């Protein structure tokens, strides 16, 4: 199972900050996941629509200027980073899952990925773009069919992973509350990888292993890597 540092190593450092990204790199994760929004045309890395929960400020992103957001403390003196700062920090050292949280992010993200390949030592196959907004994923595939996309779901649909196959996705990303053997088997039959969020508990990691999932998003990468190493060689449950 691959380990994605969820919002960076967010169990150790403030989520979606460069500190959390750097910590995830030290932990030698397979991939890092970050949440992306737009502020004054700039791509910024923050989960919520407002700055209230993760900074010392207040207000909605779309009511604040980029300059105002950059003046906030996102924890331990960190700024809310730009996506370009995240790309420069990772510098091609691991895979990056960019989760699009807002409309109109597709074109600027695609432009920035080109820059990351030419300037920050990434290959295109190190990127995985995901979203709960499947229209954004459709838009990406129609512009660049080669780019890998991950279709997010917080449910177990009647037709299981069919929606992700229709999007020509590389992977389906499902909430741990809804993943089950039927879903994993269906996704695999459709040629899709299954990545599950958010998996921090050791028993949950074992359960994901037995289900045969391909990767987990975790806030505690080292703990998860150690647990997964212990599970190596333990057979998955027959489907
Ligand atoms: O991308 C996996 C996971 O991050 C999706 O949910 O709310 O943590 O962005 P959320
Ligand atoms: Mg996310």
Average pLDDT (15-30) is 98
Whole-number mean pLDDT of the chain? 97
Per-residue pLDDT band at 238 (split at 50, 70, 90):
low
Best substitution site from 217, 218, 219 to test ligand 1's pocket, by max atoms within 8 Å of Cβ? 217
Q: How far apart are CA 114 and CA 147, in angstroms?
A: 11
Question: What percent of the chain shows pLDDT beyond 90?
Answer: 97
At residue 189, φ and ψ (nearest 5 deg) are -65, -25
Query: First-to-last CA distance in the chain?
Result: 17
- Write the residue with the smallest CA distance to atom 5 of ligand 1: 197
Q: What are phi and psi of 6, to 5 degrees?
A: -75, 115
**Average of pLDDT values for 195-203?**
98
152 CA distance to ligand 1 middle (Å): 8
Phi, psi of 44 (to 5 degrees): -120, 160
10 Å CB burial of residue 237 (0-12, 13-18, 19+) is exposed
| CA geometry: angle 77, 222, 78, nearest 5 deg | 10
CA pair distance 212, 1, nearest whole angstrom: 8
pLDDT score recorded for residue 237: 66
Does the active-site annotation cover 47? yes
Give residue-wise pLDDT tens across range 102-150. 999 999 999 999 999 999 999 999 999 999 999 999 999 999 999 999 9
Query: Which residues neighbour 227 within 8 Å (Cβ) at sequence distance 6 or greater?
Result: 202, 205, 206
Average pLDDT value for residue range 94-101: 99
Give yes or no for residue 225 having a pLDDT over 70. Answer: yes
Nearest protein CA to atom 7 of ligand 1, as residue: 47
CA 196 to ligand 1 center in whole angstroms? 10
Strand ranges, E, within the chain: 2-6, 31-39, 42-45, 95-100, 127-131, 148-153, 171-175, 193-197, 215-218
> Which atom from ligand 1 is nearest to the alpha carbon of 7?
4
Residue ranges and CATH numbers for the domains of the chain are 2-13+26-34+83-231 (3.20.20.190)
What are 33-86's pLDDT values in tens digits? 999 999 999 999 999 999 999 999 999 999 999 999 999 999 999 999 999 999
Q: How far is CA 140 from the centre of its chain?
A: 16
Strand partners, 130: 99, 150
Radius of gyration of the chain (CA): 17
Spatial distance between the Cα atoms of 76 and 56, rounded to a whole number of angstroms: 11
Q: Could you identify the atom of ligand 1 that is nearest to the CA of residue 99? A: 1
Cα distances (angstroms) measured from residue 111 to each of 114, 118, 145, 151, 229: 5, 11, 15, 21, 37
* Ligand found nearest the CA of 128: 1
Nearest alpha carbon, ligand 1 atom 3: 197
Distance CA 106, CA 110 (A): 6
Measuring from each residue's beta carbon to the nearest atom of ligand 1, which residues come in under 6 Å? 6, 33, 35, 47, 99, 130, 152, 173, 197, 217
By the 8 A CB rule, do 146 and 123 touch? no
Selected catalytic residue, list 47, 121, 134, 188:
47
Q: Is 121 a catalytic residue?
A: no
pLDDT value at position 236?
A: 79
Give the span between the Cα atoms of 118 and 121, in whole angstroms: 7
CA of 238 to the centre of ligand 2 (A): 31
| Residue nearest atom 6 in ligand 1 by C-alpha distance | 197
The residue contributing the CA closest to ligand 1 atom 2 is: 197
């Amino acid at each position: 199972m691959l380990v994605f540092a969820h919002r960076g190593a967010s169990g150790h450092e403030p989520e979606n900050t460069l500190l959390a990204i750097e910590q995830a790199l030290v932990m030698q994760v397979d991939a890092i996941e970050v949440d992306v929004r737009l502020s004054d045309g700039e791509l910024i890395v923050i989960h919520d629509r407002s700055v209230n929960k993760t900074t010392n400020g207040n207000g909605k992103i779309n009511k604040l200027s980029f300059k105002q957001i950059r003046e906030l403390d996102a924890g331990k003196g960190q700024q809310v980073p730009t996506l370009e700062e995240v790309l420069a920090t990772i510098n091609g050292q691991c895979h990056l899952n960019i989760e699009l949280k807002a409309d109109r992010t597709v074109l600027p993200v695609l432009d920035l990925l080109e820059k990351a390949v030419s300037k920050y030592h990434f290959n295109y196959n190190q990127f995985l773009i995901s979203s709960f907004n499947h229209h954004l994923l459709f838009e990406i595939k129609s512009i660049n069919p080669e780019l890998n996309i991950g279709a997010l779901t917080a449910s177990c649909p009647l037709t299981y992973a069919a929606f992700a196959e229709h999007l020509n996705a590389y992977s389906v990303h499902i909430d741990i509350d809804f993943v089950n053997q039927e879903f994993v088997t269906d996704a695999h039959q459709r040629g899709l990888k299954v990545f599950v969020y958010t998996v921090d508990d050791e028993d949950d990691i074992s359960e994901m292993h037995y289900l045969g999932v391909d990767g987990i998003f975790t806030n505690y990468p080292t703990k998860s890597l150690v647990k997964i190493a212990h599970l190596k060689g333990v057979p998955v449950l027959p489907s």
